[in-house]
Structure 1
Amino acid sequence: MKEFIAAAVQIAVKPNDIKYNLEKVGFWLETAVKEHDAELVVFPESITTGFAPGIPLEEFYDLLNFIPGPETDQIGAIARKLKVHVVLPLYEKRKEKNVIMNSSVLINDEGEITGVYRKTHPFPTERIGGGGWTTPGKEAVVVDTKLGKIGMIICYDGDFPELSRVLAIQGAEIITRPSALLRSFEIWDMTNKARAYDNHVYVIAVNSVGADAEDNYYFGSSMIINPIAQKLAQARGTEEIISAKLDPDPLKHVTYGSSSPMIFDHLQDRNIEVYKDILKKAKSPFEPAKRIPYNH
């Protein structure tokens, strides 16, 4: 990993207006590069449409495009011009009718798609099996770039330590988490810090602001966390850009401000024999008010 500046661009969408939203992404992308010298720019979840579609599944499917497609072409051209890496989160339609994936596309500084992650843990109301609109992905993704090794998750994925751990085992140095999270700032803050600290990785967590098509209002508070759980930058609840310089040697000390050298490694120090039950199916002993089944 090299030293570089990463930026989180926290902007609101015009629900389901892909053309407008792409133009806005392009403007803010240029701003992040020109005003922050960013080499990696990450946008919120489903930035081309907003999170909840507010229209029937068939109509939403027809609105969307494949990957690669017009959205990735347009932002790829800007990335190439600006020489910047971009994480562009958007809904993706598949060849099978009405199959929609919640995806995150990594575009390099040549404008090329170098990785596509498809959300493996859609939120219960988002899942097609729960009356929603998306189908879960089935693959963890880490991309080796000029900047470093970048792993990708999306929103609710961050509640599952197993996924981020797999990315770290696969070599991720940075995990991007575009989101449209509504639950609470405390959960958002805690899970971002925990995933960074658990795995000794940087987490760039970018939350939505404004409303989607179903009038869900998002609180923003995007943040960049380093591998010892220090918050390098945090946004407010408005449209804005935050940025931070990522140090390629972030584990010098056990915690921020300490002179004690780092002596542990959460990956190397795992006692794997103890975790042999990790792949067994399970459910919480505390019954949720409404359980929505997960259809793999």
Structure 2
Amino acid sequence: MPKIKIGMVQMGSIESKEANITKAIEYGEKATDEGAELIVYNELFSTQYFPAIEDVKFFDLAEKVDGPTVRTFAEFSKKRDVGVVLTIFEEDDKVRGIYYDTAVIVNKGKILGKYRKTHLPQLPGYFEKFYFKPGKTYPVFDMGEYTLGTIVCYDRHFQEGVRILSIKGADIVTVPTTTNFYPETWELELRAHAAFNTVFVVGVNRTKEYFMGREIRYFGKSLVANPTGEIVDEMGEEEGFRIVEVDLDKIKERRRKAPFLKDRKPENYTELSSIYIEEV
């Protein structure tokens, strides 16, 4: 397997979607100038994090997967010969009035597919069930020299998604995120996903922004964790980008010493899909 240079882009956004996209493309261009072969953006970067409140006016921000935002990044991906993971506020292309928080995977100009966020918080400052319908599946994508899977933000609190992606062959799992609480848990969970599943995990978080007249301090700290759970590199809280080179041969090396996926006992785990926590 080769070495891959990953560009993490973490940013805060303003009200203008056009300005956010322009800034994201500029960061992407700088990252590819420094050799990035895969660029991962934080969750819903083309808009402010509107689920911080409930307001029907924000449904106007949604667009389809073949809409202008994805087309813009597909053109950038083709021009720069790079893979891109971006998330959008998706309007279903078949059923009107149904929306998702969707990661779109693009490689060298080709839209490979999408992942719809499956776990949605409904917490103070994170009113996502008001806006989004949950997805159901965990696809993986052939990026040529490696296989990529993704989850989104709140999904990282649940172990099953990354495990499914790993079993399906993902070498790299990306986690576009918007979070402003418990940075120690942020690092712990991403490192644990990487260690338990012996994959590379790339978590990219939003930075502070002003929304509806107040500052919200999303703390950045985007990072890459390797198959042993160690942090390869980590950003600070400021907006910007970082290039991190990963050696995919480390996956094979780790799995020879720690064959966790081989030693799984799925026949013993059937209770997972049948046990529910009773409502209080």
The answer to whether TM tops 0.5 is: yes
What are the Cα deviations for residues 175-230 of structure 1, in whole angstroms up to 9, with x where unaligned? 00000012211110011001111111100100000126354320010001111112
In the other structure, the counterpart of 1:245 is: 245
CA contact (8 A) 2:224 2:231 kept: yes
Q: Do the aligned partners of residues 266 and 71 (structure 1) sit closer, same or farther apart at CA in structure 2, a change above 3 Å counting?
A: same
Q: Percent identity?
A: 29
Is 2:9 the counterpart of 1:5? no
Query: Counterparts of 1:30 and 1:123 in 2: how far apart (Å)?
Result: 33
Runs of 4+ in 1 over 4 A off after TM superposition: 53-57, 126-129, 251-254
- Measured on the aligned residues, the alpha-carbon RMSD in Å equals 2.1
In the other structure, the counterpart of 2:64 is: 66
Q: Which has the higher helix share?
A: 2
Following superposition, the deviation at residue 128 of structure 1 comes to 5.9
In the other structure, the counterpart of 1:31 is: 30
Instruction: Report the residue type matching 2:131 in the other structure.
Output: W
In the other structure, the counterpart of 1:233 is: 233
In the other structure, the counterpart of 1:269 is: 263
In the other structure, the counterpart of 1:257 is: none
Q: How does 1:185-204 map to 2 (within 5 A)?
A: 185-204=183-202
The unaligned stretches of length 5 or more in structure 1 are 255-260, 288-296
- How many residue pairs end up in the alignment? 275
Query: Counterparts of 1:271 and 1:21 in 2: how far apart (Å)?
Result: 46
Query: Counterparts of 2:122 and 2:275 in 1: how far apart (Å)?
Result: 17
The unaligned stretches of length 5 or more in structure 2 are none
Instruction: Report the residue type matching 1:278 in the other structure.
Output: L
What are the Cα deviations for residues 252-280 of structure 1, in whole angstroms up to 9, with x where unaligned? 766xxxxxx95221110112333121112
Q: How does 1:208-223 map to 2 (within 5 A)?
A: 208-211=206-209, 213=211, 215=214, 216-223=216-223
Q: Which has the higher strand share?
A: 2
CA contact (8 A) 2:51 2:128 kept: no
Matched residue SS, 1:250: helix
In the other structure, the counterpart of 1:106 is: 105
Instruction: Report the residue type matching 2:111 in the other structure.
Output: I
Following superposition, the deviation at residue 281 of structure 1 comes to 3.7
TM, length-normalised to structure 2? 0.91
Instruction: Report the residue type matching 2:262 in the other structure.
Output: Q
Instruction: Report the residue type matching 2:276 in the other structure.
Output: A
Query: Counterparts of 2:122 and 2:158 in 1: how far apart (Å)?
Result: 14
Q: Do the aligned partners of residues 128 and 75 (structure 1) sit closer, same or farther apart at CA in structure 2, a change above 3 Å counting?
A: closer
Following superposition, the deviation at residue 11 of structure 1 comes to 1.2
TM, length-normalised to structure 1? 0.86
Instruction: Report the residue type matching 1:79 in the other structure.
Output: S
Q: How does 1:73-88 map to 2 (within 5 A)?
A: 73-88=71-86
In the other structure, the counterpart of 1:51 is: 49
Query: Counterparts of 2:128 and 2:24 in 1: how far apart (Å)?
Result: 28
CA contact (8 A) 1:90 1:104 kept: yes
Following superposition, the deviation at residue 50 of structure 1 comes to 2.4
